[in-house]
Structure 1
Amino acid sequence: MQAVQFTEHGDTDVIEYGEFPDPEVGPDDVLVDVKAGALNHLDVWTRRGLPGLDLEMPHIPGSDAAGEVVEVGDDVRAFEPGDHVAVSAGVYCGECEFCRHGEFPLCKEYHILGEHVRGVHAERAALPAKNLVAVPDHVDWTTAAAAPLVFQTAWRMLHTRADIESGESVLVLGASGGVGHAALQIAAEAGCEVYATASNEEKLDYARDLGADHAINYEAEDFAAQIRDRTGRRGVDVVVDHVGAATWSDSLKSLAKGGRVVTCGATTGGQPQTNINRIFWNQLTVLGSTMATPGEAEDALAKVWDGTFEVHVRDTLPMSETAAAHDLLENREGFGKVVVIPDEEH
């Protein structure tokens, strides 16, 4: 089969699209004919090389994909050939103390397909059945591929970790990205007043179309100052920050007393300076979040499949042009997700 792959970490020139051995199907696995894959920023970080990351080379990237089941292992009962499925990339043991209590993202052996082990940007992928979710036949492949990681991540951040309520105010940073545009819609659908930041007016207009009540151009304005001004110096109840060092201080400044900031990543760096005085004096809560449980993923994706939430795809490229797809992410071009299609399907 053909697969996106790299044999060393580096810039986009390390990415190749070529022959790779066909996957083997174990008793608990499902063989999927991949129709589309989607990129996330973790694909960029994995390709560059994360501290402590020890990958089996060649590495196939990709945590998001969708396709048709072509074969199932002997012990699989949930799927059969012909089913449409999407990948849910979190892998867990199912046996540790956290898994026994349903907190799968806290599993001691938790890892993510495409980041810690070989991923799914290939013509075919053999995956544990528990890492697949059913997709209704009416949902197109690009939507099915682009939705799972970002919508389950944003759903857990807001509903499980931050426990948002109708009437609260939520600031979503980087609303033009995958997690950002998912979080914006989830907060709006929950009845929250949504503030969104993006880098230009085109992105802000689209954020408004998705449900943002207020839009702030962070390139032209100090978003923390704007939040204080627009809320009568109160601040917001919740900040969704997946940006990291570049925004962390202003995220804390944007919170109301008793507010909470929830984070799932740190695109600009994971070691920001923190004003601890502000945290204890204003009694702020800092919440971490990673991926989601199977139930949370199903809840979030059900609202994608029925059209409640929109997955915006900024561009679709053949898998042989995955390097260009990485460039789109790194250069922050456009709004929403980038999808790659196996060349034979494109």
Structure 2
Amino acid sequence: MTATRTETTVAGPLADDEPLGASRGERLTALAQQHGALVALLALSAVASVGFDSFLTGDNLENMAVSSAFLAVVALGMTFVIVTGGIDLSVGSLFALGGVLAAWGSQYGTLVALALPLAVCGLIGLVNGLLIARARLAPFIVTLAAMLLARGVLLAVTDEGSTTYLVDESAFFARLGQEKLLGVGLPVWITALLFVAGAVVLRRTRFGQYVYAVGGNEDAAALMGAPVARTKVAVYTLSGLCAGFAGALNAAWLVSGVTILGSGMELEAIAAVVIGGTLLSGGFGFISGSLVGVLLLKVIQNVINQIGSLDSAYQQVVSGGFLALVVVAQTWLGRRRRMV
């Protein structure tokens, strides 16, 4: 009976993958976990569109979309990590480091501007994965050390933050962040393509099944023949690559490598992933849900800015309170799902 239940968790992370014999209560619970954040996003957007005339304007929507793109790319990599039951606290520093390296490398061409942050941040993610999977160190400690390491490298590259590298606005690299397609910024299109690819990988490939299996029950996954260590190394490497690429894309948008960015981004990414329905305990999650989680956080921030009379600190208060509410709801739904 236990083995059968493990297979259900691994092979059926989404509502439309539930086995035919699943009860109505189990299907409804799975739907609530998958689409609860989307319902909240639509409801909040509807209220904001009625309460604020400028909410649905093209400029406001585009600003929200572009500013969401960078966090969304980071959250994409974080989704894979959390589905395996891990955590990555280094992504905020890797995001900032990736932006600085991309801005510095842009003087040597677009290829260097993109390859350098991907190589450095991907390497740090690879080391994280090896220490966690092979040396069996705690993800929290390993990625916390990587966060400090990346921030230290950033300070060394920028002379303690006193040097800001600029991107030539006429360079092709800058166009990746500045150009628009059909009235929408290129970062948004690039992010959309990455999420489509991520969803296909997680749901339709053998690697994606390994990710769910490792998060659902690591010992059972090993008995089933899943390459547990390689899967963990792969997801942390992917997380580093996503953070580095997001930083590079942000540098192209800002046409500079800003050293103070990325502080607290790891917490935002974790919050977005969890709000989107991915369980912190692993084995259950959605790529689409993480995107919805990012958008919901950005809409909350935008609504607070629209109010005008509220301090920006309220964004953190509301986001933190909402995250706590979601975690409680997820815990309750998870217990209910096991009972039905």
The bucket for the TM-score relative to the shorter chain is under 0.3
TM-score (norm 2): 0.27
TM-score (norm 1): 0.27
More helix by share: 2
More strand by share: 1
